[in-house]
Amino acid sequence: MPEFDQMQFRFAPAAKPRRRTAVNGGSRQKARGDIACLKVTLQQIRPPIWRRLEVPTALSLGAFHSILQVAFGWTDSHLHQFHAGDHRFGMIDDEFEDDIADENTARLDQLLPVYDRLVYEYDFGDSWMHLIIVEKMLEREPLMAYPRCIGGKRAAPPAIAAGRGVTRSFSRPYAIRITRSTSR
């Protein structure tokens, strides 16, 4: 298996997390709202497989991982990690000496004001890279349950897909429940 830096090189540069650009005369604008509307797109698959999620920003990355598993119909049967700039977050394992930070201590509300995109990597064998883009920040709607999936296209590859080449033509319709807000 190639080293991590070599693996990153295989993916399009657009998938690398970026710092938010400065606004309002050089100072960062504080994100308003405690709900993030995120578009999560599985990279290097055509036509695209994506989900639009509304999630509370107080979630840890560990909890967000569980949401992504449900949204894409996976079984949490592989390792995963998040990339934010030069930082990586995932499950801490004492058997491996690594520079990965604990995903359960990092929260979305700490990362989203700094980075306008994150990358979620699932299954280190197949390296399913998901680009997570912040589309907008929202105020919590009263009586609305979060997190929720409000859109998406196509089913994700099965958890055990035997490589990306097998799944490029994977096209059965996605099977997740889409909820619609009554106020939009």
Distance CA 132, CA 127 (A): 15
Q: Does residue 13 sit within a domain?
A: yes
Domain presence at residue 173:
no
Write out pLDDT tens, residues 58-100: 999 999 999 999 999 988 888 899 999 999 999 987 777 678 9
> Quick check: is 62 in a domain?
yes
For residues 48 and 153, the answer to whether their CB atoms sit within 8 Å is yes
172 is a domain residue: no
DSSP letter (8 states) at residue 114 = T
Residue 179: inside a domain: no
Q: By residue range, what is the domain housing residue 22?
A: 4-167
Is residue 153 a part of any domain in this protein?
Answer: yes
Q: What is the pLDDT of residue 149?
A: 96
Q: Across-strand partners of 19?
A: 115
CATH code of 131's domain: 3.10.290.30
Domain assignment present for residue 120? The answer is: yes
94 found inside a domain? yes
Total domains in the fold of the chain: 1
pLDDT tens digits along 135-180: 999 999 999 999 999 999 999 888 665 554 444 444 444 334 444 4
Sign of CA dihedral 134, 45, 50, 109: negative
